Amino acid sequence: MTRFYVTTPIYYVNDVPHIGHAYPTITADAVARWHRLLGDETMFLTGTDEHGLKIQRAAEENGVTPQEQADKTSQRFRDAWEQLDIANDQFIRTTEKRHHVAVQELLSRAKANGFIEKGSYAGHYCVACEAYYIDDDLIDGNNCPIHERPVDWLEEDNYFFKLSALESELTEWLNSDTVFPEGKRNEALGIVKLGLDDVSISRTSIDWGIPVPWDDGHVFYVWYDALINYATAVGFGNDEAEFGKWWEQSHHIIGKDILRFHCVYWPAMLIAAGLKPPKQVHVSGFLLLGGKKLSKTGLTQIAPADLVEDFGVDGFRYHFLRDVSFGPDSEFSYEGMVSRYNSDLANTLGNLLSRVATVVTKKCDGIGPKPNPDSPLRPIAEQSYRDAAVAWDQFQSPVALEAVWNLLRETNAYLERNEPWKMEAGSTEVATVLGDALEVLRLAAILASPALTRGSTAIWQTIGLSGSPEEQQLPAAAEWGQYPGGLAVAKNAPLFPRLKVEDAS
Ligand code: ME8
């Protein structure tokens, strides 16, 4: 049995879910759905990052305890994901007991192996940022670059992680097919090549965190707690056999803002604890609006639910999976979303389905005929499956979906060439053409199901099939010719009615 483990970043609970969070979550969900179609034993993890100063501050501002802040916002993430049909197997919260146990265990092992030492840190400190700055960062010699207020000189006892001792192990890991795309791998290698400083991993100035087990009064710095969630969720510190089972197949999806943490610090922490680094890390660019990161624009005010209202769950999911490639930044546009919906969902897929249903009603008494084993669409369908499989394996959802839409466009062209609506009712010719188109709809319902969680089931039912596309198993289900024929095809209202730009504003 092949196993597959995929994770999203765990999101901070100081802020509510926005479409920048939805994007990696939908990608992980779609990739997990593809692996379930392949029959892999699949684990898909998402969750929330609940410790640290950011959360403590947000709680203070809202007049609640950090735990109350975390409970409320974590639930908002769960609700948002439910609305988007995110089928995660687990939702982890870093305030869970099992996570405390795992963090303390992993970092204790790193310490036992000689990678954690006590030291003191001295530097310019901005209390508002809770961060140290070096001389070059400061404005006018003594002011915080963010708050433009004088910084303090602070000296603190900290535990340090000896990152500098792991440069060669990290280089080796980065050189072995681990970080994608290539440009991001080079970025991570560049960080290691520049030389790594040891990093402070504990704080005495706050208490909203996981205590350092060997020294009261210290809590782990939030990143050294957060990263370990990926190990906690599959049993680290609680069930070693379970952990061993999943860890070798770990795939992290992250944004480029957290590359250093996932591609340098995290593998180093694992190595220091005597564990294997993750199998793969896939790094996305940012969604931008007017050239700026979403969180720096008003778009964080748009909850995914607002867009779902206009585009439906499928329209929302399809846009992000089809239009945003892993790696480069991508400009978000409402108009782009409308035009993608209209061209691919309303026109190419929706029209094909309604055309086929209409002609089957008129020319075949509403009963779908069987496909032709020698159909000219067959090699195109076979290629489409092969291309989609390679692309999903590489987390390239735009390429995978394009492979399916290419087949749909070819099928529309096949109908236009053959004009079954002009053929004699009940003839062999009309049955051949429509049987082929129905087979393509069967295949498309399966192959597009990681993106279209609702539309693919609707197609499946419209063409008279029982069960659901998600229950099918690849690669067997992708073989040409399995639409059985003799099924009642329904003539329903359009699956994806066309949108006007005004509809969606
Ligand atoms: O960094 N475009 O959490 P976070 C694309 N808790 N992706 C975006 C985005 C945008 N405009 N805005 C956010 C954290 N994201 C830590 C992670 S993991 C152990 C701890 C996505 O709530 C992107 O994937 O700030 C980014 O890495 C993630 O949300 C960070 O969410």
- Which among 29, 13, 23, 28 has a CA at the least distance from the CA of 76? 13
Q: Which of 259, 290, 308 is where one domain is finished? A: 308
Q: Is residue 319 part of a domain?
A: no
pLDDT at 505: 47
* Ligand 1 atom at minimal distance to the Cα of residue 256: 27
Mutate which of 6, 23, 50, 251 for ligand 1? The one with the most ligand atoms within 8 Å of its CB, which is: 23
For residue 365, the enclosing domain spans 334-488
* Ligand 1 atom at minimal distance to the Cα of residue 294: 11
Q: Is residue 342 part of a domain?
A: yes
| Alpha carbon distance 162, 272 (integer Å) | 9
pLDDT at 332: 85
* 108 and 67 in a common domain: yes
Q: Which amino acid is at 273?
A: A
> pLDDT (tens digit, 9 = 90+) per residue, 217-250?
899 988 999 999 999 999 999 999 999 999 999 9
DSSP 248-260: TTEEEEEEGGGHH
> pLDDT (tens digit, 9 = 90+) per residue, 178-190?
999 999 999 999 9
Q: Is residue 447 part of a domain?
A: yes
Whether 251 is catalytic: no
* 106 and 29 in a common domain: yes
* 125 and 30 in a common domain: yes
Q: Is residue 503 part of a domain?
A: no
Q: Which amino acid is at 486?
A: G
| Alpha carbon distance 210, 216 (integer Å) | 11
- Which among 97, 60, 276 has a CA at the least distance from the CA of 169? 276
Other beta carbons less than 10 A from residue 70's beta carbon: 25
| Alpha carbon distance 259, 11 (integer Å) | 15
* 360 and 290 in a common domain: no
* 203 and 350 in a common domain: no
* 354 and 274 in a common domain: no
Q: Is residue 135 part of a domain?
A: yes
Residues facing 201 on adjacent strands: none
* 220 and 118 in a common domain: yes
Dig out the tokens for 19 from the structure: 């479409």
Q: Is residue 221 part of a domain?
A: yes
* Contact status, residue 299 vs residue 19, Cβ threshold 8 Å: yes
Mutate which of 10, 225, 257 for ligand 1? The one with the most ligand atoms within 8 Å of its CB, which is: 257
Q: Is residue 472 part of a domain?
A: yes
Q: Is residue 318 part of a domain?
A: no
Helix (H, G, I), strand (E, B) or coil at 474: coil
Integer CA distances (angstroms), 133 to 197, 220, 333, in order: 15, 20, 36
* 215 and 71 in a common domain: yes
Q: What is the dihedral angle through the alpha carbons of 256, 261, 266, 268, rounded to the nearest 10 degrees?
A: 110
Dihedral sign for Cα atoms in the order 366, 368, 369, 374? positive
* 342 and 395 in a common domain: yes
* Ligand 1 atom at minimal distance to the Cα of residue 24: 24
288 Cα to the center of ligand 1, angstroms: 13
Can you give the pLDDT of all 505 residues of the chain as single tens digits?
799 999 999 999 988 899 899 999 999 999 999 999 999 999 999 999 999 888 888 899 999 999 999 999 999 999 999 999 999 999 999 999 999 999 999 999 999 999 999 998 888 987 666 577 888 889 999 998 877 889 888 788 889 999 999 999 999 999 999 999 999 999 999 999 999 999 889 988 788 999 999 998 899 988 999 999 999 999 999 999 999 999 999 999 999 999 999 999 999 999 999 999 999 999 999 888 776 666 655 556 667 888 999 999 999 999 999 999 888 898 888 889 999 999 999 999 999 999 999 999 999 999 999 999 999 999 999 999 999 999 999 999 999 999 999 999 999 999 999 999 999 999 999 999 999 999 999 999 999 999 999 999 999 999 999 999 999 999 999 999 999 999 999 988 899 999 986 554 4
Terminal Cα distance for the chain, rounded: 47
* 257 and 220 in a common domain: yes
| Alpha carbon distance 495, 462 (integer Å) | 10
Whether 126 is catalytic: yes
CATH number, position 448: 1.10.730.10
Total number of domains in the chain = 2
By DSSP bridging, strand 367-368 and strand 90-93 are unpaired
* 260 and 132 in a common domain: yes
CATH number, position 232: 3.40.50.620
Whether 100 is catalytic: no
223 lines ligand 1 (CB under 6 A): no
Whether 296 is catalytic: yes
* 265 and 352 in a common domain: no
